[in-house]
Amino acid sequence: MRTLIVYDSLHGNTAQVAQAIGDALAGEVVVRRAGEAAGAEVKAFDLLIVGSPTHGGRPTEAMQGWLDRIPPAVLQGILVAAFDTRFSTRLVRVFGYAAPRIADSLEKKGATLLVPPTAFFVKGREGPLKEGELERAARWAQEIIASKLSEKSEQQGARALPSLDQPPG
Ligand SMILES: Cc1cc2nc3c(=O)[nH]c(=O)nc-3n(C[C@H](O)[C@H](O)[C@H](O)COP(=O)(O)O)c2cc1C
């Protein structure tokens, strides 16, 4: 399995989460900052995981710019997952968060979301991450794998179904 993880990070917290997710995945894993990844590159991977800090309820400008630049043709049928880092206070809920918007952008261009968008929490504006978040990131990576395996077996199951036009035998 080949996985591309694309992230943005101002203070290093989202970078740490991206790396923890990458370390927990089997197979070839490439971890890139949004500014360093070409959208067309996605095509060479089985799985794309995108993560950004939440800034004003949204992904960072660099991340949104990267998402906007991916040609839709590249994302057709690509399996994706989205995460963000954010405060855990109630005050910011009204603005929304980055991960659901990342997921929306990817799905609108034809990608298939494997698991619900998720969040990892920082203690202050510049971090650090709350205790246990890197371990949770590793567990989330396992959930993604489990979901990818079941998606694959569903596809194989669908192919194995007899055609309705031709009676079996
Ligand atoms: C300009 C700015 C705006 C932010 N806006 C939000 C916000 O709307 N909601 C939130 O939960 N956290 C917000 N934060 C906190 C960031 O989510 C936090 O800095 C980020 O998770 C740290 O990730 P990083 O170390 O990868 O940059 C904001 C931080 C900055 C610097």
Q: Give the model's confidence band at 157: pLDDT under 50 very low, under 70 low, under 90 confident, else very high.
A: confident
Element housing 75 (H / E): helix 72-75
- Torsion, Cα 3 6 11 12, to 10 degrees, reads 10
State the first-to-last Cα distance of the chain, in angstroms, to the nearest integer.
36
Whether the predicted pLDDT of 80 surpasses 50: yes
Find out whether the beta carbon of 92 lies less than 6 Å from any atom of ligand 1: yes
Chain mean pLDDT for the chain: 90
- The CA distance from 72 to 136, in Å, is 31
| pLDDT for the residue numbered 118 | 97
CA distance readout (Å), 33 to 7, 76, 77, 133, 146: 5, 22, 23, 20, 26
In terms of pLDDT, which residue wins out, 133 or 165?
Answer: 133
For the domain made up of 2-160, the CATH class stated in words is: alpha beta
Which range (56-60, 61-65, 152-156, 160-164) has the least confidence? 160-164
| pLDDT for the residue numbered 160 | 60
Query: Helix or strand or coil: residue 107?
Result: helix
| pLDDT for the residue numbered 166 | 52
Atom of ligand 1 nearest to the CA of 9: 26
Find out whether the beta carbon of 95 lies less than 6 Å from any atom of ligand 1: yes
Find out whether the beta carbon of 55 lies less than 6 Å from any atom of ligand 1: yes
Average pLDDT over every residue of 101-126: 96
Q: State in Å: Cα 25 to ligand 1 middle.
A: 26
| pLDDT for the residue numbered 97 | 94
